[in-house]
Chain A
């Protein structure tokens, strides 16, 4: 037993130890939640963007749907290991890095996931990268106001390139398909079809690798940033191996899950693709993505792939483009940043209002419920490997009735 004068300091130390313990546990839990949510985003990124590489391959019959998706999944997984530099553009060029906290990253990821899953439900090929950037910026705006966002970086690295990328891809693919058509005019249909289908397997593989490298890197960057923000890693630390492995597996699994709805929109929605068009579109996409990436301007794979498909359709009078659908998709691109930003801002506001790790947990449950509802709704009109090449559903046909009939 101790007397009063001895017990009070002992009790004080004990309370301090408990608070330190609680703080550590709460932070560890918060970090764990952020990492799980980041991997969930990586998974949605995989299935949302599967279409970018495989939609023309599936639509032209170069590969069976399931084979194309599995091949793309493996190459996305491999691609994630090809590059080990942390892609921290989101942290370093778009928001004030010193202000980033775990709840901000969490809210940004929640905003991005919600937007990705919503656009997947509506079969709209929108940019997962823009959703992530929008989500993080939205949360940062609520946390620290407009000065925390590097607006010049946002305009010069995201908005301007995202406007130009589809146009460049459209021109490249359009010119390429016209040249291919003229050069293979005397080639018999069977040789031409077989040759371009074989070519599509190579071009699709290259696109999948590039996608795995680019997009898995973004999540690796986000998880590393979370580890730095938590103090687990020092500033400028390299990405731990387990982050690389887990992100690679998450994007690979997501790709294997197959975003069939978006694959159908890209493969069958914009125009009716021939093997020659599919090859030209995929080669043009690869050229634009690899060139821009090499020159330090990473573009949205979705925007480039869509621009290429529309380009080959526009250059082929016999198979007109469904411009109304293109317009709807372009509108979705424009609203991706603000909508994901709004979702990120609301997520941060709510989790902050509830407070602490509990707030983050509550929000994670709310987001999980929303995702479950979307998934349930999607079961009403299932699109999978067996019907991905079937006629489009009413919603897409409504968006593009005239050109379909014209074709």
Chain B
């Protein structure tokens, strides 16, 4: 859909809206997935019936996912401030 007359500027920037949709869905789902993996790993690491190496691995995964979540929160703050 183009603007009326000779203007070549798109009236509605559908590609921008599509990018917003894709990035939002990927980021939103990605964060929830990271949190869920972290939570599962935390639960796994607390199970004393598991082997030491497996539990240590689960702890590492919990920390990694925790870092991803904290990083995402900080990035969110940066986005809020930077858009000014």
Chain A residue numbers with a CB within 8 Å of B11 are 152, 155-156
| Chain B interface category by residue count | 35 or more
Cross-interface CB contact of B20 among A168, A188, A202, A209, cutoff 8 Å: A168
Asked whether, in the complex, the Cβ of A291 is within 8 Å of the Cβ of B42, the reply is: no
* Chain A interface helix/strand/loop/mixed: helix
B53 at the interface (CB under 8 A from A): no
In the complex, number of A-B residue pairs with CB atoms less than 8 Å apart: 133
A297 at the interface (CB under 8 A from B): yes
Asked whether, in the complex, the Cβ of A191 is within 8 Å of the Cβ of B29, the reply is: no
A187 at the interface (CB under 8 A from B): yes
A79 at the interface (CB under 8 A from B): yes
| Chain A interface category by residue count | 35 or more
Smallest beta-carbon distance A164→chain B, Å: 6
Asked whether, in the complex, the Cβ of A295 is within 8 Å of the Cβ of B16, the reply is: yes
Chain A residue numbers with a CB within 8 Å of B83 are 83, 213, 293-294
Asked whether, in the complex, the Cβ of A168 is within 8 Å of the Cβ of B40, the reply is: no
Chain A residue numbers with a CB within 8 Å of B82 are 294
A191-B43 contact, Cβ under 8 Å, with A209-B77, A293-B79: yes
A177 at the interface (CB under 8 A from B): yes
Among the interface residues B21, B24, B29, which one has the most CB atoms of the partner chain A within 10 A? B24
Asked whether, in the complex, the Cβ of A283 is within 8 Å of the Cβ of B31, the reply is: yes
A53 at the interface (CB under 8 A from B): no
A170-191 vs B, Cβ < 8 Å mask (1 yes, 0 no)? 0111011101100110111001
Alpha-carbon distance A176/B76, docked complex (angstroms): 18
Chain B residue numbers with a CB within 8 Å of A180 are 32-33, 35-36
Which residues of B20-71 are within 8 A (CB) of A?
20-21, 23-25, 27-29, 31-33, 35-37, 39-40, 42-43, 46, 69
Which residues of A235-292 are within 8 A (CB) of B?
279-280, 283-284, 286-288, 290-292
* Known A180-B35, A195-B39, A292-B24; further 7 A-B contacts with Cβ < 8 A: A176-B28, A183-B40, A187-B39, A209-B77, A287-B27, A288-B20, A292-B20
